Amino acid sequence: MSDVRVDVAVDVAVVGAGIVGCAVARELSGTGLSVALLEARDDVGDATSKANTAILHTGFDATPGTLEARLVRRGYDLLSSYAVDAGIPVERVGAVLVAWDDEQLDALPKLHAKAVANGYLRGELVDAAEVYRRLPHLGPGALGGLVIPDESIVCSWTSALAFATEAVHRGTTLLLGRRVTGVDVGADATVLRTSAGDVTTRWVVNAAGLGADTIDRLLGHDRFTVVPRRGELLVFDKLARRLVDHIVLPVPTARGKGVLVSPTIYGNVMLGPTSEDIEDRRDTSTTEAGLAFLLGKGRALVPDLLDEEVTAAYAGLRAATEHADYVVDLDAVQRYVVLGGIRSTGLTASMALAEHVAGLLAAHGVDTAPRGGLPPVPRMPTIGEAFPRPYADAARIAQDPEYGRVVCFCERVTRGEIRDALASTIPPSDVDGLRRRTRALMGRCQGFYCGAEVTRLLAAGAAGERS
């Protein structure tokens, strides 16, 4: 795609098609504005958004009064409701913060008070017996807990795809494989120089995640530096899912939320993340030390987990900055909005951030009133384990036998779903993209049985597209 140079002129250019950029493009293309969504990679949601812990946060533990606290809280409601319309899987599994020593036990009432200050009133302090009633497989030594019944798990992949798909249906020009290399701010228009053509735009929205500071500097600012914070994660086999029914959170420290154990929306169990500031913005390696640390944590948290197989080990990079809060600012002279330091809470806050950007633009005289005749919300394929999937849908198979043809056995992905993904509004560009759309190849065998067949279908689909 990126070998084709296309020059484009729009009202708003959103740089970065992660979860936040996709949400902003979706929001703004629902107005009278013309929108382009630029992404350096070949797919949406393909950098920091794809390796999120995928928790839909109530925002109970945010710092009260911050922009992050407000947008997470608002974003929770927006995304919860959008998820129902778009078919994004969400499971309200609830979280239990577990105290393992006296200091942590003393911190729980303060956290409870913080939740109240954040407007979250359903938190509940519980004793050790109640913790073990809710988490019978938890390791020994828990002293008490704080239950947050509304913390949820969500599919971050489907979220980004749904936003981007709806944005495209609303007329957004999606420009994949276009890295912004230069910015010329003129009196009436800004020209974004990219690796494949120029984009002329009136407004620029910088949602470039790990690259947000680089783009910001191209516009002459020096407000923040992104320090990639690497988080390594282990995903355990689906057979471990019975061991963990809620998100198990540690009592947070200054360095983030610490190591958690959580069910995943795909029916696995996730353990992580580690937290390590690194320099290389591409370095998503796992490490011997990181994996050993996680196994140690896992052994203490849920000992039986260690008897199960590890299905995946990966690392994500969080876009941390030196600022404690999100950096969101509008420069009226440059007609430029920056969204910096949107860390892992950005998944929850994404739709609220988009709404906030629209508000900032409106305050500067941009007409962001919704236009009529918008297409319906796209209905995304269901890849959540707790939701009806094609392989188990007798009526659907009777209508179309391709949904009865299981290709990826571990994840029970059918040929019909792979076909649909290849024919979708934003088709995958590679195996990872197909995995994020269908779950193909993300299971316990990692392609031992189906890897060759899935990659063949992907190649055949791409060939069909070309011909």
Q: Which residues of the shown chain bind other proteins in the complex (CB under 8 A)?
A: 235, 239, 282-288, 290-291, 295, 307, 309-314, 391-395, 397-398, 401-402, 404-406, 409, 412, 414, 431, 444-449, 451-453, 455-456
Round to whole Å and give the CA distance between 309 and 239.
9
Torsion of the alpha carbons at 104, 105, 110 and 113, rounded to the nearest 10: 130
Q: How far is the CB of 44 from other proteins (least distance, A)?
A: 18
Round to whole Å and give the CA distance between 31 and 75.
20
Q: How far is the CB of 55 from other proteins (least distance, A)?
A: 22
Cα 85 to Cα 89, 205, 219, 340: the distances in Å are: 10, 27, 38, 29
Q: How far is the CB of 153 from other proteins (least distance, A)?
A: 20
Round to whole Å and give the CA distance between 389 and 57.
26
Cβ closest to other proteins, residue 71 vs residue 413:
413
Cβ closest to other proteins, residue 70 vs residue 444:
444
Q: Count CB-CB contacts under 10 A for residue 117.
A: 14
Q: How far is the CB of 300 from other proteins (least distance, A)?
A: 18
Cβ closest to other proteins, residue 219 vs residue 406:
406
Cβ closest to other proteins, residue 113 vs residue 398:
398
Cβ closest to other proteins, residue 352 vs residue 407:
407
Contact 86, 379 (CB under 8 A): yes
Q: How far is the CB of 315 from other proteins (least distance, A)?
A: 8
Q: What are phi and psi of 146, to 5 degrees?
A: -125, 120
* Conformational region of residue 272, where left means phi above 0, alpha means psi within -120 to 50, and beta covers everything else: left
Round to whole Å and give the CA distance between 35 and 354.
13
Round to whole Å and give the CA distance between 135 and 127.
12
Q: How far is the CB of 313 from other proteins (least distance, A)?
A: 5
Round to whole Å and give the CA distance between 437 and 423.
12
Cβ closest to other proteins, residue 163 vs residue 391:
391
Cβ closest to other proteins, residue 149 vs residue 381:
381
Contacts of 125 (CB under 8 A, 6+ apart): 108, 109, 112, 144, 145, 146, 147
Cβ closest to other proteins, residue 117 vs residue 445:
445
- 3-state SS class at 230: strand
Round to whole Å and give the CA distance between 76 and 431.
31
Q: How far is the CB of 445 from other proteins (least distance, A)?
A: 5
Cβ closest to other proteins, residue 57 vs residue 444:
444
Q: Is the dihedral of CA 217, 223, 225, 231 positive or negative?
A: negative
